[in-house]
Amino acid sequence: EVQLVESGGGLVQPGGSLRLSCAASGFSISSYDMNWVRQAPGKGLEWVSYMSGLTGSTWYADSVKGRFTISRDNAKNSLYLQMNSLRDEDTAVFYCARGHFSVWGQGTTVTVSS
Amino acid sequence: DVVMTQSPLSLPVTLGQPASISCRSGQSLVHSNGNTYLIWFYQRPGQSPRRLIYQVSNRDSGVPDRFSGSGSGTDFTLKISRVEAEDVGVYYCMQATHWPWTFGQGTKVEIK
């Protein structure tokens, strides 16, 4: 069964860091483009970051560029999102999604608050 | 950035009746490779989004055929031919043609 499971969310103070993980099963992430999408409480969806399965090239939303870094570990079949310099407005549920969003994880909650 | 504008933002519908959601983009979504990367999603409260339609009009596996997508260029539509109770939720369009990729604001569908 194709599945994505996110983890690593939690409560962090403004200015802090957090690393999210997305464990894939049923397929190899090295063969697919992968994404992070977030949803602030009561708000809509916001695309955050993308990594090409073929080339490893990456793209970011302007709101996170320079603060967030997407990466993957093919051996662990996992995708990551390193989040630094976190702000209150980064509070959201973070989802990983495969390709053009055909498969989604259940999400992990990040709360940035003092 | 490409702004995606959905309308209406709230859509009260009658069971068994049709429903339609519009999504307009700030620029053409035709990619240099000729494809148009306009995607529709559905999300129930407390659940992850689910893709319904990709590349304007291709229905995902398992999506009921009462859902259909159409449009071209900058003007797109999601139609539900006969609304069922399980269709209640929020629908989003998204463009994956131009970086950064962007979502519409979402349309909340509820039963009258």
Q: Does A95 touch chain B (CB under 8 A)?
A: yes
Please answer whether residues A106 and A5 qualify as being in contact, where contact means their C-beta atoms are separated by less than 8 angstroms: yes
Q: Does A41 touch chain B (CB under 8 A)?
A: no
How many angstroms separate the CA of residue B42 from the nearest CA in chain A? 11
| pLDDT one-digit tens code per residue, A32-41 | 999 999 999 9
Report how many Cβ contacts below 8 Å link chain A to chain B. 51
Spans of chain B, pLDDT less than 70:
none
Q: What is the pLDDT of residue A96?
A: 98
- What are the backbone angles phi and psi of residue A52, rounded to the nearest 5°? -70, 135
3-class DSSP assignment, residue B81 = coil
In the numeric block, which tokens belong to residue B17?
Answer: 């009746």
Q: How far apart are CA B24 and CA B104, in angstroms?
A: 9
DSSP string, A46-71: EEEEEE-TTT--EEE-TTTTTTEEEE
Asked if A104 and B106 come within 8 Å (Cβ–Cβ), the reply is no
Tell me the average pLDDT across A43-59: 96
CA–CA distances in Å: residue B102 to residues A48, B43, B61: 9, 17, 24
| pLDDT one-digit tens code per residue, A58-102 | 999 999 999 999 999 999 999 999 999 999 999 999 999 999 999
Which chain A positions have a beta carbon within 8 Å of B2's beta carbon? Answer: none
Q: What is the pLDDT of residue B65?
A: 96
Q: Does A106 touch chain B (CB under 8 A)?
A: yes
